[in-house]
Structure 1
Amino acid sequence: MIDEVGQLLRDAAEQAVLPWFRRLSAEHIDEKGPGDLVTVADRRSEEIITAGLLRLAPDSVVVGEEAVSADADLLHRLRDAGRVWLVDPIDGTANFAAGRRPFVMMVALLDGGQPVASWIYDPVADSLAVARRGAGSAVDGVPLGVGGNGAAPPLRTLRGAVPLKYLPDRVRVTVQAGGDQVGAVLPGQHCAGREHWDIAAGTQDFALFWRTLPWDHVPGTLLVEESGGVARRLDGGPYDFTDDRAGLLVARSEAAWQELQRALLG
């Protein structure tokens, strides 16, 4: 099924995403909420992915970002005991709508309420990151592994994303003060899937998110964890994607997570 879902993402990209990249007009872009964009490509991509996943597993349920925007009760299906697919048809829609990268397409498979596999596809690069619970992660078939149990890295060597504008004032003040201890605090790429991918691949050390919607983070946190990294709530608790609390700190190792949590969150 790993290969079949990867091919499904490629097919959806070819049919519904890439033909619209840098070709969208105002009538092709809507706003679901303040600053929350959706395009004709998001909707069509989700339709194609949903139909394909149900062909692969007819007894499964699909929870897609755009379907949830029309029927919020679908979110309750994430607790189902059977197989549930979580779909983000385009992660980084604001980038996509503006004709820039990065943006990715993401799917996660839940079984018994737990993520067991995930796929993150970069359609422009035609590159696919895959993770399987307990079996590691890979990009285009090449295994990832950043290691998770080494000595704490010097804070001055760490670089990562913290989109400060999304943080409430009290958290922003604390993070900004602690950020002086960190090598580089970047504004973020406006694409959660890309941030997770870069952490898993070892090209970025961390990311701090405020919004923690499941389609944005379940595929990527599994990729990070299967690459030796850590994803937890800001207080150190586990990331439960059915919990709508805000705040998530993701790091490339346990030691880095501990150092960053002390520095950025006090």
Structure 2
Amino acid sequence: MGGRQGHRPASGQNPGLRLDGSGAERSSRHRRLPGALNMLNVSHLNVYYGDSHVLRDLSLELAPSESLAIMGRNGMGKTTLLRSLVGMLPTRSGSITLAGQELTGSKSYERVAAGVGFVPQGRMIFPYLSVEENILTGMQGAPATPIPDYVYEYFPVLFEMRRRKGGNLSGGQQQQLAIARALVSNPKVLILDEPTEGIQPSIIKDIAKALNLLKKERGFSLIVSEQVLSFAMAVADRYLIIEKGEFVHSEVRETVDRERILRYLTI
């Protein structure tokens, strides 16, 4: 995602920012060294719904153990991007690599095996399976393996309710369950789509705290699509704003302009 050579700032544009390959501004102080190994590289991704061009030449990179928030209003392309990354939507062109492994064109289950964990919007847990059974569905080919201790350590409510049907949990508890199910596949990159949707603020804080601790302990990288800025700031190192299928702005935690991001979210 290096800046284009020779780019001249437009009137009113911060000269300390450059445009990455997708058009989003990026601070020159935060560009990575050429050749640095990224956990995830997405290059010039284009996605269509029929004849409608919905993702336009998107590029992004994610370092090991880094957290990235994809932000924007409804209908701007957040979910489409994440579904493309996990293989649920076909791409017209571009490439996706995970730890150097090409994923473009591979099936969703192949991406899970390669190290992509996904928590979809709406959680999509199995309502008639117990909490324990839901978690076990995420453990690839190892049904006899016990659920790792860290799952219940960071989400203790799941231990208390491990025999209860998933459909009987609250929205916040179901979100914790969906995250736990994705984590037991030992992902290199964990992707969460709108994880705070329909969840009360106290549970949102608990989830943010657990994700930060788990990321530090387990060493995965994290991508979240989000509209709640407080949650994004609690978990993400960088922020990319998407509008009409294009990245239009980027920020880093150390110098984040909250008001500018909020303007993109409320226009």
What TM-score, normalized by structure 1, do the two folds share?
Answer: 0.27
The structure that is helix-richer by fraction is: 1
What TM-score, normalized by structure 2, do the two folds share?
Answer: 0.27
Q: Which protein shows a greater Rg?
A: 2
